Structure 1
């Protein structure tokens, strides 16, 4: 990966094929500022260029996942003109879009509160695993803003259904970890001490599969949330399957099955 000069985020490599991206402003509950937004985008593009990368795990340092936009910076927002505010929004939106658009699966290890823009960031992951201290909050309406921010209005109804999404958005209420699991906002809740191990175990299950198969599965699942017909979805799926039969990983997996051994995937 290209060497990055990071101030608000760190990257660790616990095992081959897995990058752990940690929001690293624990004294601010990992609140987002413009530096963090720029670094999220830079990291997403840099990691996306790694051929050996299979999974990204996103988490927060300390006791929070991400408290949303830093209030020390937010106080300046009303003084921005319309175009200035639009530029601010687009800076943040580019960061989250870059992360969501990564070609490999992203697992959010939600270790504590995820509020506002932090809630948006957690939603942008493909899989969410939470500790009991995780709390989710679309806090926007409590500070005079709309919950239509950084993808929440698109992602949240697709995860929990329109009625539950409406309740979360309109009330600004906290959703604790147990409730988040019940409504499908997170995949599972595990003990705080087991959170990273659980995410790494999930990553290992993903890494055991063909890299091309996983990446094109993610592409199909994401793209087909945006098409309007079953026929269009099938057309995209057909192309993905046709492409993967040209990869050496597909005949290798068949041979491994017949020979009763683990496949050796190359991602070629």
Structure 2
């Protein structure tokens, strides 16, 4: 286990387990945790050794959002410049999560509120415990319901009506409904949550490294594609590139020889 005190990183083969580690504060985002997350996701951008990331949190809650105590007094001498800097600094975490080449599997227990909800939404896959609950807490503290990418991610996951309900009201969505509307992929008991995330990571690792990365690219690009022609153009280019890699040749040879492929990442 390595990393800063507020963010722990454990390497298991080609997978990294990243743990928010402020359990006494419900893993709320204070300046130290924000900077640790920024540094971590930035470091992944050109990291070919880590192929999948499992994001989780210590304690009884995933993340209670912004740590209001940790960022000073918001009520005295408000500064647009300072607020915009902080807003963009934290939001950059979510953008880097979506643009990093590694799939991100998020394991959510307890509350994921405000910025914690946005962290979970920015992942590629979400598993949750039965006690999970998410809400757009921003709108209940005098701000807007859309923050840190929530108004982008949420409608694409659950549709406009459910997203509007949640973002306009600040209501919590519980695990069972979240599963029903597609916000999470599965509900898992707390003691099996990490194993479930690692099992999915193992299945992802069956893919060739470049194939895995380009599939995440295609998913991110095609969610905003103008139509099927644009979406298939991206897929066509991806498949043509991958068909000319050494790993594709190895996959074919391994299939014919009835053995597991040995990936080279090229």
Q: Report deviation, 1:5.
A: 6.1
Distance 1:31 1:167, change over 3 A: same
The number of residue pairs the alignment matches comes to 264
Contact 1:64 1:113 in 2 (8 A): yes
Q: Report deviation, 1:230.
A: 2.3
What are the ranges of 5 or more consecutive residues in structure 2 without an aligned counterpart? none
Name the counterpart of 1:122: 120
Name the counterpart of 2:64: 67
Contact 2:222 2:231 in 1 (8 A): yes
**In 1: Cα distance, 2:54 partner to 2:109 partner:** 12
Find the partner of 2:252 among 240, 251, 254. Answer: 254
Superposition TM-score, scaled by structure 2 size? 0.95
Contact 1:10 1:23 in 2 (8 A): yes
CA offsets, 1:49-102, max 9 Å, x none?
332211100011111110000021356234331122111101111122112211
RMSD (Å), alpha carbons: 1.5
CA offsets, 1:169-202, max 9 Å, x none?
1121111111111111100001111000000100
Contact 2:31 2:71 in 1 (8 A): no
Name the counterpart of 2:171: 173
Find the partner of 1:103 among 80, 101, 104. Answer: 101
Contact 1:34 1:92 in 2 (8 A): no
**In 1: Cα distance, 2:181 partner to 2:5 partner:** 35
Superposition TM-score, scaled by structure 1 size? 0.94
Name the counterpart of 2:228: 230
Superposition map of 1:1-268 within 5 A? 6-13=4-11, 15-73=12-70, 76-78=73-75, 79-268=77-266
**In 2: Cα distance, 1:37 partner to 1:74 partner:** 11
What are the ranges of 5 or more consecutive residues in structure 1 without an aligned counterpart? none
